[in-house]
C-alpha cells in the first residue's frame, strides 16, 4: 500500500489525546503524512503536537470551522461522535471526502436515526422522545414494556436503563435526569444477542471490516459491554443479515465516506439496528483489529481517508478480541493485583490498566469508563474468549468505598 500524494495533509478531529491519537500520529509519520490535530484538549496537549494542534469547540461548529478557513488539507478523519460532526462540516468547507454533515448529525441523534431506520424498512421497536420537564408517570403510561430509557445526548451505554414496570420507569427517569440531560428517548426493549459491525464507506458503498460477537448477555437493567471477539461464530446467514442491515442503515443515514461503527441485535425475528456511528470503534478497543502484515486499524483509516483503496486489507490474526474490564462498584481506585499473571495467560497480547490511583470510579449507568483493557489473539474465537476470561480471573482490584479510606502508596 502506498500513499500517492506525499506529503499529504490530514486533519484529525478528536476529543481525546490518548492512545488512539498516538497511533494515528505514528502511522502518519511512517507514511510521510503531515497530520494536524483538531481538538478541544489543547490545554492538556503534550509534545510532539505543540503548535500543530488546532483548538476547536465541538459544540460550536460554525465558529470552529471558521478557524480552518484558508488552510489546505487533503483529507479529514475523526475519532468520536461529536468530532465526527465537526469533521463533516469542515470537510464540506475544505471540499474533501467525508460523511455529510446531515448524516453525522443523524447518527448523533437517536430519534432521527430511528426515524430513518423506520423509513428504510428496518426493524425498529416502538419509540418516542420526551423531555425531563414532563411528568414521568404520564410518559410511563405510554411506554411499551419492557422498555429502555436512553438520554439523547450521551453515547455508548451511559445512562441507558431498562425498565420492566411503571415504578421502574419513574425511578430510571429520575436517575437519568440527575445526570443533567434535557431529553430522553424511550424504546421497546429488543431481546437477543448483540453484535458490533466495523466497516469503511467509500462513495456510499459499505466495506465490512469485522463482525464482533459480544458473548456476554446484555439484558439490563444496565448495559455494560465487556467482551468483543472477531470473527463472528454465528452461522453465515446470520452474519449476512447483520451486514445487509448495516448497509441499509448506512444508506438510510446518508453516510458517504469514512469509518462506521454499528451496534445490532439478532433474535428469532432477525437483525435489529441499534445505533450507527460515523466513527471507528473507540479508544483502546481498536487494538483488537490489525491487518496483514501488522497494520493497526488507525493506519487503515488514515490510508482510506487519503483516497487509497484498502478493500484488500485482511486481518493479521485468525481471531482476536478485547475485554473492557468493568467497574464492579463505585469508589476510589487503589490498585490491582495479578497484572503480570494476567499478561502471562496464553493468548493474551496485553493487559492495560487505565484507572489511576486515587481516581473516583463510577459504574453504570452514571459512569462512562472502564478499569482497563485485556487484548487477546488466537487460532479461534473460542480460544480468544477463553484467554480473556482467564486473564480477567487473575485480576484483583482494590476499590475503597469512601474517600477517607483511600491510602495512597508511598
At 387-408, the pLDDT tens digits run 999 999 999 999 998 654 445 5
Do the strands 127-131 and 205-214 form a parallel or antiparallel pair, or are they unpaired? unpaired
| CATH architecture type of domain 126-188 | 2-Layer Sandwich (3.30)
Condensed to tens digits (0 to 9), the pLDDT of residues 68-78 reads 999 999 999 99
Can you point out the beta strands (E) in 190-245? 193-202, 205-214, 227-230
| CATH architecture type of domain 9-107 | 3-Layer(aba) Sandwich (3.40)
Tell me the β-bridge partners of 202: 205
State yes or no: cis peptide before 182, omega within 30 of 0.
no
d(CA 375, CA 290): 12
Q: Determine whether domain 317-410 maps to CATH 3.30.470.20.
A: yes
Query: What average pLDDT does range 184-204 have in this prediction?
Result: 97
Condensed to tens digits (0 to 9), the pLDDT of residues 249-283 reads 999 999 999 999 999 999 999 999 999 999 999 87
Query: What average pLDDT does range 364-390 have in this prediction?
Result: 94
Write down the pLDDT at residue 231. Answer: 98
d(CA 94, CA 374): 39
Contact in structure between 110 and 275 (CB atoms under 8 Å):
yes
Place of cell 452474519: 239
Query: What average pLDDT does range 6-18 have in this prediction?
Result: 86
Identify the burial level of 405 via C-beta atoms within 10 angstroms of its C-beta, where 0-12 means exposed, 13-18 middle and 19 or more buried.
exposed
Identify the burial level of 133 via C-beta atoms within 10 angstroms of its C-beta, where 0-12 means exposed, 13-18 middle and 19 or more buried.
exposed
**Could you tell me the pLDDT band of residue 154, with boundaries at 50, 70 and 90?**
confident
> Residue ranges of the domains in the chain?
9-107, 126-188, 317-410
In this structure, of 5-9, 227-231, 306-310, 348-352, the range with the lowest mean pLDDT score is 5-9
| Confidence check: pLDDT of 2 > 60 | no
C-alpha cell at 244: 445487509
Write down the pLDDT at residue 364. Answer: 85
For CA atoms 10, 38, 157, 339, give the dihedral sign.
Answer: positive
The reported pTM is 0.93
Contact in structure between 363 and 320 (CB atoms under 8 Å):
no
In this structure, of 115-119, 227-231, 397-401, the range with the lowest mean pLDDT score is 397-401
Query: What average pLDDT does range 230-242 have in this prediction?
Result: 98
Query: What average pLDDT does range 205-233 have in this prediction?
Result: 96
Condensed to tens digits (0 to 9), the pLDDT of residues 314-370 reads 999 999 999 999 999 899 999 999 999 999 999 999 999 999 999 999 888 888 789
Residues 6+ apart with CB under 8 A from 225: 156, 157, 214, 216, 218, 324
Q: What percent of the chain has a predicted confidence (pLDDT) above 70?
A: 93
Write down the pLDDT at residue 407. Answer: 53
Condensed to tens digits (0 to 9), the pLDDT of residues 285-311 reads 999 999 999 999 999 999 999 999 999
Write down the pLDDT at residue 254. Answer: 98
Amino acid at each position: 500500500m502506498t500513499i500517492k500524494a506525499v506529503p499529504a495533509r490530514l486533519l484529525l478531529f478528536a476529543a481525546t489525546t490518548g492512545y488512539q491519537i498516538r497511533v494515528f500520529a505514528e502511522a502518519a509519520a511512517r507514511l510521510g503524512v503531515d497530520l494536524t490535530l483538531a481538538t478541544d484538549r489543547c490545554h492538556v496537549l503534550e509534545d510532539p503536537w505543540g503548535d500543530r494542534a488546532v483548538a476547536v469547540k465541538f459544540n460550536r461548529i460554525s465558529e470552529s470551522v471558521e478557524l480552518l478557513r484558508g488552510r489546505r488539507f487533503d483529507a479529514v478523519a475523526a475519532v468520536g461522535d461529536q468530532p465526527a460532526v465537526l469533521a463533516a462540516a469542515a470537510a464540506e468547507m475544505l471540499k474533501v471526502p467525508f460523511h455529510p454533515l446531515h448524516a453525522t448529525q443523524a447518527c448523533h441523534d437517536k430519534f432521527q436515526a430511528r426515524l430513518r431506520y423506520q423509513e428504510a424498512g428496518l426493524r425498529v421497536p416502538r419509540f418516542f422522545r420526551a423531555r425531563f420537564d414532563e411528568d414521568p408517570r404520564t410518559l410511563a403510561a405510554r411506554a411499551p414494556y419492557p422498555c429502555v430509557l436512553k438520554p439523547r445526548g450521551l453515547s455508548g451505554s451511559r445512562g441507558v436503563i431498562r425498565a420492566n414496570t411503571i415504578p421502574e420507569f419513574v425511578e430510571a427517569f429520575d436517575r437519568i435526569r440527575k445526570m443533567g440531560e434535557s431529553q430522553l428517548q424511550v424504546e421497546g426493549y429488543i431481546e437477543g444477542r448483540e453484535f458490533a459491525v466495523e466497516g469503511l464507506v467509500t462513495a456510499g458503498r459499505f466495506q465490512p471490516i469485522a463482525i464482533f460477537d459480544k458473548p456476554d448477555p446484555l439484558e439490563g437493567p444496565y448495559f455494560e459491554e465487556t467482551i468483543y471477539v472477531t470473527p463472528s461464530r454465528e452461522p453465515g446467514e446470520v452474519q449476512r443479515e447483520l451486514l445487509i442491515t448495516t448497509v441499509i442503515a448506512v444508506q438510510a443515514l446518508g453516510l458517504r465516506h469514512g469509518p462506521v461503527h454499528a451496534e445490532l441485535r439478532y433474535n428469532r425475528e432477525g437483525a435489529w439496528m441499534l445505533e450507527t456511528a460515523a466513527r471507528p470503534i473507540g479508544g483502546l478497543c481498536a487494538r483488537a483489529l490489525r491487518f496483514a502484515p501488522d497494520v493497526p486499524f488507525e493506519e487503515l483509516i488514515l490510508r482510506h481517508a487519503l483516497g487509497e483503496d484498502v478493500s484488500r486489507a485482511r486481518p493479521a490474526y485468525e481471531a482476536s478480541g478485547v475485554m473492557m474490564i468493568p467497574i464492579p462498584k463505585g469508589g476510589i481506585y487503589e490498585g490491582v493485583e495479578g497484572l503480570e499473571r494476567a499478561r502471562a495467560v496464553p493468548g493474551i497480547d496485553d493487559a492495560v490498566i487505565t484507572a489511576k490511583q486515587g481516581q473516583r470510579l463510577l459504574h453504570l449507568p452514571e459512569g462512562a469508563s472502564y478499569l482497563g483493557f485485556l487484548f487477546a489473539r488466537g487460532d479461534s474465537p473460542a480460544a480468544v474468549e477463553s484467554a480473556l476470561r482467564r486473564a480477567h480471573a487473575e485480576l484483583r482490584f482494590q476499590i475503597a468505598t469512601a474517600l477517607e479510606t483511600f491510602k495512597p502508596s508511598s
